């Protein structure tokens, strides 16, 4: 009988303290000046009036998808320094009371903290701080879950129905307060936006890196920002004197289409060529929009971005995409394009072309004995020498490693490639200067001609490669024209060498 009476008294006391907590939380909602103030007060009230052991509030950081501790109070708040909690249900640290409450939007009760499977990730910490029961109640603002009120006790089975109901009311009161602050923040933000819009607009215009012009329908420029003066290289009065047409390069064929589009749709966005005050042309991104001013007059705003640097970078990137980084020569991509064009031109004109496949002899030994830095120096010097041996209309390409391809378009006959091949071989045997040392190299060249040795790029490259192999087999430092028998010989050699694995030119 005494035990039942004691339990009844304990329950009455607990509920009375929770009613007091509810009342004081209502007061905190009215008295708090900020969200952080409200949450800190709520945690303190729960501990002092509700006689719980520890309370903290988890708030969701929407952009980061993480949880932050917004407020804490009570004995054992050090627990939060080692605790890990996630919003992700796939993460074990996201399956506990707090993560579940935040994710699913309902209270999560743990009447036996140390035995509840939901808290298994935190049993070690719970044992250290003596937690026997816990609860996580979601907090909302404007209909969205924004956080959770987390409560910890040192006695088990503390959450009967009446207790749960009262704690739910406390969470609802805190949620109401959060909603009030959210609404107030939204109202204040709207007022600030309205109050600051003119200053912000003025600041944007004055500090913009892009030129901003305000023009009249007749082309007069009514205003120009500092960036416009910098980009066009003159004072605002000079820009106004020139007018809209004086800033555009009327020789740009895109201008007429831009004017027509603006007349038809009221706006234009695209690239045009503009004129600086000194007459220099520059590429620009132009965006215009027609609007009605507050006095009823029609106006046009023009946003002009100088894209000179971007065009320069784009050209550089395009160059790097088609050229070898080490030698600056056309790479395989550009070589294939030019070879296809040369074949198409030869087909139309009935002329010939020659494709040379040049491989430096025993170049691997240079890298092995002297290192790749010296090897790179040799490749750069070789590229310059080879380039000096061909015409401007020819294409010299580095394919990678020590391999070069040379396209000789528009030649009268295959024999026209012989003088070029000789020059290429002669320039390579001249000693290479490498600081205090010199090195002598040679090369082997295979030659395939259109249309005799192939009607497309693949067959010409394959056959020139085969001829180069034969040139090496015949002693290196020589050129060799392709003949069909070479492919049969290479096939035989491939079969003979197959068990050994590799057979590469050197």
d(CA 327, CA 384): 8
The reported pLDDT for the residue numbered 487 is 67
Range of the domain at 378: 325-500
Q: Does residue 199 form part of some domain?
A: no
The reported pLDDT for the residue numbered 313 is 92
Residue 435's region, left for phi above 0, alpha for psi from -120 to 50, else beta, is: left
The reported pLDDT for the residue numbered 368 is 80
Q: What is the CA radius of gyration of the chain?
A: 40
CATH (domain of 229): 3.30.450.20
The reported pLDDT for the residue numbered 12 is 84
222 C-beta neighbours (distance < 10 Å), count: 13
What is the average pLDDT value for the chain, to the nearest integer?
Answer: 88
The reported pLDDT for the residue numbered 501 is 44
Do residues 103 and 245 share a domain? no
Do residues 121 and 14 share a domain? yes
The full DSSP string for 210-252 is SEEEEE-TTS-EEEE-HHHHHHHTS-HHHHHHHHHHHTB-TTS
Q: Does residue 385 form part of some domain?
A: yes
d(CA 214, CA 221): 6
Structure tokens at 357: 């496949």
The reported pLDDT for the residue numbered 506 is 57
Q: Does residue 446 form part of some domain?
A: yes
Which of 255, 289, 311 marks a domain boundary?
311
The reported pLDDT for the residue numbered 505 is 54
- Nearest Cα residue to 136 out of 100, 163, 175: 100
User: Residues 354-390: pLDDT tens digits?
Assistant: 999 999 998 888 888 788 888 899 999 999 999 999 9
Burial 131-151 (b: 16+ CB within 10 A, else e): bbbbbbbbbbbeeebbbbbbb
The reported pLDDT for the residue numbered 500 is 47
Which of 245, 280, 311 marks a domain boundary?
311
pLDDT at 423 over 90: yes
Q: Does residue 455 form part of some domain?
A: yes
User: Residues 226-265: pLDDT tens digits?
Assistant: 999 999 999 999 999 999 889 999 889 998 888 888 888 8
Q: Does residue 347 form part of some domain?
A: yes
Do residues 304 and 357 share a domain? no
Structure tokens at 255: 């201008």
Q: Does residue 33 form part of some domain?
A: yes
Strand partners, 449: 354
Do residues 471 and 392 share a domain? yes
Total domain count, the chain: 3
Do residues 306 and 335 share a domain? no
Say if residues 273 and 282 touch (Cβ distance below 8 Å): yes
- Nearest Cα residue to 222 out of 292, 147, 116, 300: 300
The reported pLDDT for the residue numbered 502 is 47
Do residues 392 and 283 share a domain? no
Do residues 62 and 164 share a domain? yes
Say if residues 331 and 323 touch (Cβ distance below 8 Å): yes
Higher pLDDT, 186 or 175: 175
User: Residues 133-153: pLDDT tens digits?
Assistant: 999 999 999 899 999 999 999
User: Residues 454-484: pLDDT tens digits?
Assistant: 999 999 999 999 999 999 999 999 999 999 8
Tell me what the mean pLDDT of segment 176-201 comes to.
Answer: 80
Tell me what the mean pLDDT of segment 179-195 comes to.
Answer: 82
d(CA 260, CA 253): 12
Do residues 377 and 468 share a domain? yes
Which of 265, 289, 311 marks a domain boundary?
311
Helix, coil or strand: residue 135: strand
- In angstroms, the Cα distances linking 228 to 236, 244, 251, 279, 364 are 8, 12, 22, 15, 58
DSSP one-letter code for 118: G
CATH (domain of 481): 3.30.70.270
pLDDT band at 498 (very low <50, low <70, confident <90, very high): very low
The reported pLDDT for the residue numbered 172 is 93
Q: Does residue 412 form part of some domain?
A: yes
Do residues 254 and 178 share a domain? no
Do residues 168 and 281 share a domain? no
Do residues 296 and 171 share a domain? no
CATH (domain of 117): 3.30.450.40
- Nearest Cα residue to 356 out of 317, 323, 397, 387: 397
Do residues 177 and 35 share a domain? yes
User: Residues 34-77: pLDDT tens digits?
Assistant: 999 999 999 999 999 888 999 999 999 888 788 899 999 999 88
Q: Does residue 49 form part of some domain?
A: yes
Tell me what the mean pLDDT of segment 95-124 comes to.
Answer: 92
């Amino acid at each position: 009988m005494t035990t039942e009476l004691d339990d009844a008294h304990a329950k009455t006391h607990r509920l009375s303290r929770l009613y007091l907590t509810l009342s004081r939380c209502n007061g905190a909602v009215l008295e708090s000046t900020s969200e952080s103030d409200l949450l800190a007060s709520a945690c303190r009230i729960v501990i002092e009036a509700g006689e719980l052991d520890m309370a903290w509030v988890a708030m969701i950081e929407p952009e980061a998808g993480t949880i932050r501790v917004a407020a804490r109070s009570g004995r054992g708040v050090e627990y939060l320094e080692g605790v890990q909690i996630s919003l992700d249900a796939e993460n074990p640290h996201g399956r506990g009371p707090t993560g579940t409450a935040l994710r699913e939007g309902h209270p999560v009760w743990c009447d036996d903290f140390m035995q509840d499977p939901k808290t298994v990730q935190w049993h070690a910490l719970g044992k250290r701080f003596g937690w026997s029961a816990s609860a996580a109640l979601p907090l909302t603002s404007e209909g969205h879950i924004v956080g959770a009120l987390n409560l910890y006790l040192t006695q088990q089975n503390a959450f009967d129905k009446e207790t749960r109901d009262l704690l739910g009311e406390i969470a609802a009161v805190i949620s109401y307060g959060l909603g009030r602050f959210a609404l107030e923040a939204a109202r204040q933000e709207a007022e600030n936006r309205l109050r600051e819009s003119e200053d912000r607009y003025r600041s944007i215009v004055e500090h913009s890196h892009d030129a901003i012009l305000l023009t009249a329908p007749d082309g007069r420029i009514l205003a120009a920002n500092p960036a416009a003066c910098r980009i066009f290289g003159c004072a605002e009065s000079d820009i106004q004197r020139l007018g809209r047409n004086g800033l555009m390069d009327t020789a740009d064929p895109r201008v007429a289409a831009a004017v027509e589009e603006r007349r038809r749709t009221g706006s234009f966005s695209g690239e045009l060529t503009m004129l600086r005050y000194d007459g220099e042309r520059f590429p620009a991104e132009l965006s215009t929009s027609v609007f009605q001013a507050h006095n009823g007059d029609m106006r046009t705003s023009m946003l002009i971005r100088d894209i000179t640097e971007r065009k320069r970078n784009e050209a550089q990137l395009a160059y790097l995409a088609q050229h070898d980084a080490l030698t600056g020569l056309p790479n395989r991509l550009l070589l294939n394009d030019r070879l296809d064009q040369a074949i198409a031109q030869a087909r139309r004109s009935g002329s010939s072309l020659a494709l040379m496949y040049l491989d430096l002899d025993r170049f691997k030994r240079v890298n092995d004995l002297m290192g790749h830095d010296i090897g790179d120096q040799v490749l750069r010097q070789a590229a310059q020498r080879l380039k000096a041996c061909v015409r401007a209309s020819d294409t010299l390409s580095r394919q990678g490693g020590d391999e070069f391809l040379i396209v000789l378009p528009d030649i009268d006959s295959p024999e026209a490639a012989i003088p070029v091949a000789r020059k290429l071989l002669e320039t390579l045997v001249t000693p290479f200067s490498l600081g205090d040392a010199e090195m002598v190299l040679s090369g082997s060249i295979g030659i395939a001609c259109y249309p005799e040795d192939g009607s497309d790029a693949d067959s010409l490259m394959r056959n020139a490669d085969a001829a180069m192999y034969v040139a090496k087999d015949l002693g290196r430092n020589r050129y060799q024209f392709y003949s069909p028998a070479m492919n049969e010989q290479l096939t035989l050699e491939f079969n003979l060498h197959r068990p050994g694995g590799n057979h590469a030119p050197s």
